[in-house]
Amino acid sequence: MKKEKANQIIDLLQERHPDAICELEFTSVYELLVATVLSAQTTDVKVNQATRKLFQVANTPEKMIELTPQEIKGYIKTLGLSNSKAGYVHELSLQLLEKYNGQVPQTIEELTLLSGVGRKTANVVLSVGFQIPSMAVDTHVKRLANRLGFSNTDNVLIIEEDLKRQIPKYRWILAHHLLIFHGRRVCKARNPECDACTLQSYCKYYKSNASKR
């Protein structure tokens, strides 16, 4: 895909979703990091419900390690994989204190060394927390990248590079939010609302299914 076409897609998405932002609630980069780790395989709404209570008690690495993993689990038990996530949050908080003086690092290499932090989480922290141009690929971004023709693979690393190559760097952060919003609201995994979508002329998925309608 040429950058001109990619820009046209981003422009249309921006018109459709002018309110596209990170929907996780946080007041510090540390809170964002924890919330993003907790967001795996669950919704931002549920994460926010859990972190509103958790962050009242522990919103810094120092305060978090005063809790046991079991106590952390008590605050996030409504989330999937709460056992593992509680352990990750406790361990990464300890790592931040031991290696980074309690500060969240600003490189993907350092972030992905933290407990429970994969590339997607690291990219979210870099882009949302530090405004460093990055492209986080979650399930929505992955789906739309393939449907719109940015990529043609299930490999998230390749999808990330495909998107970064075709979308201008200064629009990476915005594009990430726009793709997520469109995936949540319109281009859903099941029963996408194609008739209400302004990207029909760009969409491989729509064109391939048009004859079946």
Query: Does pTM surpass 0.75?
Result: yes
178-195 per-position pLDDT tens digit: 999 999 999 999 999 999
Report, as an integer, the average pLDDT of 78-87: 95
Same domain, 15 and 52: no
Same domain, 9 and 41: no
Same domain, 92 and 164: no
| Residue 164, phi then psi, degrees to nearest 5 | -65, -30
Same domain, 76 and 160: no
CATH number, position 88: 1.10.340.30
20-65 per-position pLDDT tens digit: 999 999 999 999 999 999 999 899 999 999 999 999 999 999 999 9
Residues 85, 138, 142, 162: which is the catalytic one?
138
Sole residue written with tokens 């309690």: 102
152-181 per-position pLDDT tens digit: 999 999 999 999 999 999 999 999 999 999
**Count of structural domains within the chain:** 2
| Nearest residue to 173 via CA among 62, 10, 58, 35 | 10
Same domain, 106 and 124: yes
Indicate the DSSP class of residue 202.
G
Euclidean distance between CA atoms 186 and 81, whole angstroms? 28
Same domain, 122 and 140: no
**Confidence tier at 207 by pLDDT (50, 70, 90):** confident
Q: In the annotation, is 120 catalytic?
A: yes
pLDDT at 211: 56
Residues 73, 85, 120, 142: which is the catalytic one?
120
Euclidean distance between CA atoms 188 and 91, whole angstroms? 35
Q: In the annotation, is 138 catalytic?
A: yes
Question: Which residue range forms the structural domain that includes residue 92?
Answer: 29-130
CATH number, position 200: 1.10.1670.10
pLDDT at 212: 58
Q: Per the domain annotation, does 24 fall within a domain?
A: no
Provide DSSP, 114-141. STT--HHHHHHIIIIIH--------HHH
Same domain, 191 and 149: yes
